[in-house]
Structure 1
Amino acid sequence: MTAALPRLHLFLRRPASGLFSIEMLYRSLIPYFERDFEVEWIENRRPSRGFLPRLADAFRAALRQGDINHVTGDVHYLTYFLSRRRTVLTIHDFVSMERLRGLKRALLWFLWYWLPVRRADAIVVISHSTEAQLHRQLRIQPERVHVIPNPVRADFCPTERAFDVQYPRILQVGTSANKNLERHAEALAGIACKFVILGHLSDAQRACLSAQRIDYETHADMVPEDVASLYRGSDMLLFASTYEGFGMPILEAQASGIPVVTSNRWSMPEIAGAHALLVDPENIDDIRTAVLSIIGDSQQRQRLRAGGLENAARFAPAEIAARYASVYRNLCRAEA
């Protein structure tokens, strides 16, 4: 008689318009997980807002436990009532800890990081940069921490589209404060290009783009397939963020065969490898010089394209799923 497969329960946030990155990442891993585990996908019933709705979803999670419980990120509070010995928590970043101050920061530290980390046996972080932040914020045994990067989905793939030297389409992914849109706009001022922005713009950002006389177009709330097409229709990615826990757009651009300008801070050099132009995100001249270098140097573009494709291959779903599966199996052995 064949032994039953261990039950792997993936706990995720409630889907919201325009927010699908975490969900799509883990969906790309499920076909590989299903070879060794019986997988159940469990989404929150409520948005992650307010104390009582979060508490209700945490109680619900406790009633839906498997042999392995994986809280996949952005809903850390689901760990509160899960069996510690069977729980894996993925931490994607510490961006709010960088932004908040005072009592709000202290509450976030306790409820979003300290308590969930105590309620999970294994902690996964998605970059060595995030691992370093974790150890700065919390006392945790190193053997409990596993660095497993995010996978790049297979629908991000290259085309033979020629680079438009005369009027390149320069892609910006995200419009939150750390995405550095205003400095990007200032760096692009006077460069003949189309600035392609994925995300909702504030009135202040629109005013900034107008003041710099930037020719731009915006896209928001796109389905994942259309996002992949947007990359393939762009000539380069400008992603000089001031903070990232990982930097998924770097890999998505590299897998799509387009050159990348990104930041020399936090996780971004680690994710890009030697296959992007790194800039100081606070230095507008630095950003502008890198963009002009890509536009003006065909050999550099080809080098970045070839190296980027090779780098993105390291983050294939099969490889990432195998690393998660090793963590899951260790939990099963410890529980037994």
Structure 2
Amino acid sequence: MTIVLDARWINDEMSGIGRSTLGLLTGLAEIGPDQPIIALGGRSDLIDEAVGGLSRAAWLEHVGFPISPTSLRSQWRLPRLLRSLGAALFHSPYVYAPLWRSGGMKIVITVHDLIPERCSGGLAKSRKVQFAPLWRTWCRLQYRRADAIITVSDFSRRELIEYADVAASSITRIHNGVALPPAGDDGRRFRERFGARGVIISYIGRHDPYKNLDALVRAFGRLREMVGGEVTLVIAGRRDPRYPQAESAARELHLNGQVIFTDYLDEATRQSLLRASTVFAFPSRYEGFGLPPLEAMAAGVPVVASNAASLPEVLGDAATLVPPDDTEALARAMATLILDADARRAAIERGRERAARFTWRRCAQEYLALYERVIGV
């Protein structure tokens, strides 16, 4: 019985969905499943690297499908392709499974969060918010037609039950994993490329308003008064002209030389940034999981994050958690980790221990068990 995993999210500038899909394949490669799996679409070179070589992964086949999962054309072409592949189960890592299917094929979808609905006030320029009734209708069709729904946190599971009226019995929570960082430079690559000096506070992620980056910039301004010396804030992630709040705050506080906006980073540069960082800051108001701070913990970087949404569930007491809009508390927490070597060492140790609980192998085992249950193996 062939399982088809939609890998089209594994692309040149991967979001969290793409990173988690690639991580799932990494975990599956560690197990070597008995069931044949097809990775549909996505960059074959990244998939090849994740599984240790497609030619050696007898359980996995990569089939190209260069059509965006969000397009209407995909809804037309995908069902016929799945039928030709003999798919017993199709897993969409987001809410873009085909609405039409044949031959008793089962559908599994992963719901990461309800951001377009729950954070709509700050996302007025998002198409999902601009066409909110259509988006809600689409999502509810996906929820109803799925044979199983996976959420990446208990928080997202509760959100689905409360705000989308999804039956609790149809939802399974499977936490994401996190990979141990590969060997690499000590951060010099990043420093030389971007001219970052002194102590580095880093953030990696989107620029959407719910990420609360303007509060991070304001807290950084206060932090500089607390610690003295040379301190740099690095905000990494694709810049979005729709949401200039963080850059506006940096200009307002005359921090242009101390705040670096990098745009999207390739994996090697991303890892170099983490190695260069003294503190990783993640003051988001809403997350379905929160992969970047967990990746920072795995890399040995102490984390300060908000106490909102899924972050307490995922990060536990390994991070310093503060209210998302308390810039003074955020600044003090970052200052403590910079100035107090003992506190920093303890935070690094707790973070590594916490990250070690979230493996892609464990994640893949839980996915395989769910696939088998849905198919009826």
The whole-number CA distance in structure 2 between the counterparts of 1:145 and 1:157 is: 37
Matches of 1:318 and 1:103, distance apart in 2: 39
**Of residues 217, 221, 233 in structure 1, which corresponds to 2:260?**
217
Which segment drifts farther, 216-225 or 231-240? Answer: 216-225
How do 1:93-242 and structure 2 match up within 5 A? 93-100=113-120, 104-112=131-139, 114-155=140-181, 167-174=198-205, 175-190=207-222, 191=224, 192-201=230-239, 202=241, 204-214=245-255, 215-242=258-285
**Equivalent residue number for residue 68 of structure 1:** 89
Residue 56 of structure 1: which of 76, 82, 99 is its match? 76
CA shift for structure 1 position 184: 0.5
Confirm whether residue 26 of structure 1 aligns to residue 64 of structure 2: no
Q: Matches of 2:4 and 2:338 in 1, distance apart?
A: 47
CA contact (8 A) 2:70 2:96 kept: no
| Distance apart, 1:206 and its partner CA | 2.6
Residue 262 to residue 207, structure 1, CA distance change in 2 (3 Å):
same
1:81 maps to a residue whose letter is W
> What per-residue deviation string (whole Å, max 9, x for no partner) do you get for residues 198-236 of structure 1?
123445533321222330223233222332222122111
Aligned residue pair count:
321
Deviation at 1:93, TM superposition (A): 0.8
- Give 1:111's aligned amino acid: W
Cα deviation per residue 1:172-212 (whole Å; 9 max; x = unaligned)?
A: 11222221111110111151411111123445533321222
Q: CA deviation at 1:25?
A: 2.5
Letter in 2 for 1:67: A
- Counterpart Cα distance in 2 of 1:217 and 1:230: 12
- CA 1:158–1:273 in structure 2 vs 1: closer, same or farther (change >3 Å)? farther
Q: How far apart, CA to CA, are the structure 2 residues paired with 1:87 and 1:18?
A: 26
TM-score (norm 2): 0.77
Q: Distance in 2 between matches of 1:92 and 1:71?
A: 11
Q: Which amino acid in 2 is paired with 1:86?
A: K
CA contact (8 A) 1:79 1:120 kept: no
**Counterpart code for 1:46:** I
CA distance in 2, matches of 1:103, 1:255: 37
Q: Give the match's secondary structure for 1:116.
A: helix
Unaligned runs of 5+ in 2: 42-64, 122-128, 188-196, 225-229
Q: What corresponds to 2:96 in structure 1?
A: 77
Give the Cα–Cα distance (whole angstroms) in 2 for the partners of residues 235 and 310 of structure 1.
Answer: 18
In the TM superposition, 1:39-50 aligns within 5 A as 39-43=37-41, 45-47=66-68
User: In the TM superposition, what whole-angstrom CA distance separates every residue of 1:254-290 from its partner, at most 9, and x where no partner exists?
Assistant: 1001110111110001110111011111121121121
> Quick one: distance in 2 between partners of 1:57 and 1:293?
55
Alignment deviations for residues 115-155 of structure 1 (CA, whole Å, 9 cap, x no partner): 11111111100001100001012333323211101111233
Over the matched positions of the two proteins, sequence identity in percent amounts to 24
Q: Deviations over 1:292-314 (max 9, x none)?
A: 12112222211111111111011
More displaced, 172-181 or 213-222? Answer: 213-222
Counterpart for residue 329 of structure 1: 372
Query: Hey, what's the Cα distance between the residues in 1 that align with 2:184 and 2:303?
Result: 14
Offset of residue 38 of structure 1: 1.1
TM-score (norm 1): 0.86
Contact 2:97 2:109 in 1 (8 A): no
Which moved further from structure 2: 293-302 or 138-147? Answer: 138-147
User: Equivalent residue of 1:153, what SS?
Assistant: coil
Shift of 1:30: 3.3
Look up the match of 1:37: 35
Deviations for 1:41-92, whole angstroms, at most 9, x for unmatched residues?
1125333556x3453355456445522211112xx23241246762211111
The worse-fitting range, judged by mean Cα deviation, of 198-207 and 177-186 is: 198-207
Structure 1 residues 9 and 310: CA distance shift in structure 2, 3 A: same
Give the SS at the match of 1:78. Answer: coil
